[in-house]
Structure 1
């Protein structure tokens, strides 16, 4: 099996607001944008990881994500296509919003000040250990600072895509891929064109190869101890949206190096993929679906994880649900309306017998679960064998716990664990006259 590509770097949330401009604001000399669509996607290292994963590669992304709404959205956008290894982010998720009309960017708004905490986790160490190649995608937010410690004496190919406010690439990289603007920052003796910059940076950075990217003209490649090579772009996409082209080039080159290509072959592949990427519309042409709950049945833990990752509100409730009736259905529908997903915790047959007596349940747990799963308002069902759902709640960590009837919160057996988790308890009224006990009595 081919070893995965590991992408190590800073992930941003890119948002494109698309619209039409046909008039000016009446009270200021500013265009009025009629918004037609809004599209979110991962940016930075997240985009590089996503694009290489779509080449069919196994990709692990080591990145810093905040515990905020945009951080949750990034997890939802990425988790279906790449394996995530999360490092804590201090501050808020960096969001870059482009306002665009007819394919042109009118303005970009940047928010968020997040920087990675220096925290090489055991999961990150293990991911690097299993890598076939590593792409360091530096966007100046601190994740690249961990590269030297994480990589140690690893001998796999390392591609470093630098940033003007980022880290100096570590010595020994198989390939460094600065843009002309980034090369200017790295050349301490002044910038005298991409060819000279590539030659100089191979020596200064102690890299095995440096490719200074030059947009639609391709790249200037210098290899340690070898001649300079000009790598032309096979497609000239002048005037088109080049956002994400550098990520595409670096990712494709890293995959090629992993698979045994030399630097010239890897850069040729990278330049070709980047130029075709721009021709197809660049980053603006990418469509990413947030991971959603999808077709049921799914496990309760899967539903909980996906709901949290997408920034949704997880609702949970519990009970025997023996002889499901209109009162149960009403409660479950109203519970589901409180949030984005509903998980039902069901007492096992033994648990019901301990609570209700030897004649219960009337319906065994497999049938009770099957009936509950058939309801459109229920996203998942889990069974617990204890007298209370406390252990299930501990695993699920719901945002809201719903109980039917007139219980006092402090008298609920599960109140302690709910309080510790910070979950809100909501009491919903029951439909009068509807109960399993009444149904059994009428049947008898």
Structure 2
């Protein structure tokens, strides 16, 4: 029996974020600055509002307690949050903080900040919401919401995860988990030790800072997030390093919110802190790989998107995944094959392909396609099972099934930036190469483990003696 996710209350400062994303291919003639053209503007919840939306995307009921006012930015954010999360407002003094990023692909070039509004006071509804909560995430962005509700948070009976900000105050005593970044942990630790210096990126420094913060904040645990290196969890003694499952390149904006939201939700569900942190590292890694915060953005001018093909749910999902990552400026990688009896050579190839971009779509031959290519005795494993095994791999983001002998049709739908093939194709002319290059994509050869093949595995299995001394049939 599956238990429904525990409702979560997110307390903190909501922001309104805008992205202007385009291409930068030359410098301006009158100044050494890039010229960004072909821009698309999108808006999305930011700060605590982003954390709340990410928690809701996990399938749990979420209530956001935040400060909003009567300004235009607050009204826009209310519209973006509608039907995503419940909203409990405290009054805002001034206008809602918003930021606008100008990006070329995944690379931020400039950020513009507006609005310095701060939470003015608590309300009885906000206090009651915190008191009745089953799980709490504090996403403090230093704009006063956590401050005006500090007394209610101090007396909360639910487990509290606190994501601090250097502009804000330390967590209340007794939180289950605090989740500063390495830079934030270093800044807070300096305040405790009169300017002690150290390398914010070093594991030794992060471990020392986490230990100091556990004691100073009287927190049950502190998880220092380390970006692509994962997170370091400390209960005040020997720390636990939780590495990322795979290298993920992309826009990291909001990865800390994704980490904190995942950890808070799982702790509310009753998970051990260690298990929650490990799952949160995996969630943050996948979040970056899938386009980051822009994946939850709403375009200010909706684009016309081609409908995905109706040849199977996994294939339609693969087309949507590729379109989402491409729209966010990420790199789509595709790889293909029969993948009948998945072996170490397949896994090594797929892991290398995933590291080449921001998402990996695997194109799989259907049963009829495999039979035409390999003979009547194949496939050994039906397509539905092959798809299920591939989707279980951490490095695979989506799977598409094609029925033709070669994958040109599905490649035309996916339009990947990179079509990855094993190094054993180095001297082979690929029929799909001209198609991939027609939209500016490229074929990339990756190392392949020698001596691994499905045919070889099947032959050895067939010749293996049975317990009675015969051969398998």
Name the TM-score, length of structure 2 as normaliser.
0.58
What is the Cα deviation at residue 283 of structure 1? 1.0
Match of 1:278 in 2: 288
Residue of 233, 236, 246 corresponding to 2:247: 236
Cross-structure match for 1:329: none
Matches within 5 A, 1:333-344: none
Cα shift readout 1:85-142 (whole Å, capped 9, x = no counterpart): 111111112111110112211111111111111x221211221122111111010101
Q: 1:234-283 deviations in whole A, cap 9, x for unaligned?
A: 12214x21100000000100011101111111111111101111111211
Q: In the aligned structure 1, how far is the partner of 2:149 from the partner of 2:160?
A: 10
1:211 and 2:214 aligned: no
Within-5 A mapping of 1:24-423:
24-117=27-120, 119-187=121-189, 188-189=192-193, 190=196, 192=198, 193-224=205-236, 227-238=238-249, 240-288=250-298
DSSP-derived class of the 1:97 partner: strand
Residue aligning to 1:348: none
SS at match of 2:21: strand
CA-atom RMSD in angstroms: 1.9
Separation in structure 1 between the aligned mates of residue 91 and residue 208 of structure 2, nearest angstrom: 39
SS of 1:84 mapped into structure 2: strand
User: How far, CA to CA, are the matches of 1:140 and 1:26 in structure 2?
Assistant: 40
Structure 2 spans left out of the alignment, 5+ residues? 199-204, 301-473
Q: Aligned pair in 2 of structure 1 residues 234, 147: CA closer, same or farther (>3 Å)?
A: farther
How far, CA to CA, are the matches of 2:25 and 2:224 in structure 1?
A: 40
CA distance in 1, matches of 2:66, 2:256: 18
> Partners of 1:153 and 1:177 in 2: how far apart?
20
Q: Measure how far apart 1:185 and its partner are.
A: 1.3
Q: Give the match for residue 414 of structure 1.
A: none
CA contact (8 A) 1:120 1:150 kept: no
Q: Which moved more, 1:191-200 or 1:269-278?
A: 191-200
Alpha-carbon deviation of 1:70? 1.0
- Residue equivalent to 2:363: none
Matches of 2:297 and 2:9 in 1, distance apart?
Answer: 22
Contact 1:23 1:31 (C-alpha < 8 Å) held by counterparts: yes
On the 8 A contact 2:182/2:225 being kept in 1, the answer is yes
CA distance in 2, matches of 1:67, 1:150: 25
Measured against aligned partners, the alpha-carbon deviations of 1:154-207 in whole angstroms (never above 9, x if no partner) come to: 221101100011111111000000001100111022354111111111111100
Q: Could you give the per-residue CA deviations for residues 296-355 of structure 1, whole angstroms, max 9, x where no partner exists?
A: xxxxxxxxxxxxxxxxxxxxxxxxxxxxxxxxxxxxxxxxxxxxxxxxxxxxxxxxxxxx
Structure 1 distance, partners of 2:275, 2:132, is 24
Q: In structure 1, what is the Cα distance between the partners aligned to 2:91 and 2:299?
A: 24
Change (3 A) 1:2 1:18: closer
> Partners in 1 of 2:227 and 2:5 — Cα distance?
31
CA contact (8 A) 2:154 2:172 kept: no
Please report the TM-score for the alignment, with normalisation by the length of structure 1.
0.62
Pairwise CA distance, 1:2: 5.9
Specify the SS of the correspondent of 1:260. Answer: coil
Q: SS in structure 1 opposite 2:276?
A: helix
8 Å CA contact 2:119–2:148 kept in 1: the answer is no
* Structure 1, gaps ≥5 residues long: 291-444
Q: How much has 1:289 moved relative to structure 2?
A: 7.5
Residue pair 2:127, 2:149 contacting (<8 A) in 1 also: no
Q: Secondary structure at the match of 2:165?
A: coil
Hey, what's the Cα distance between the residues in 2 that align with 1:2 and 1:121? Answer: 27
> Could you report, residue by residue, the CA deviation over 1:6-52 in whole angstroms, capped at 9, with x for unpaired residues?
00000111110011223333333332221431010011000000000
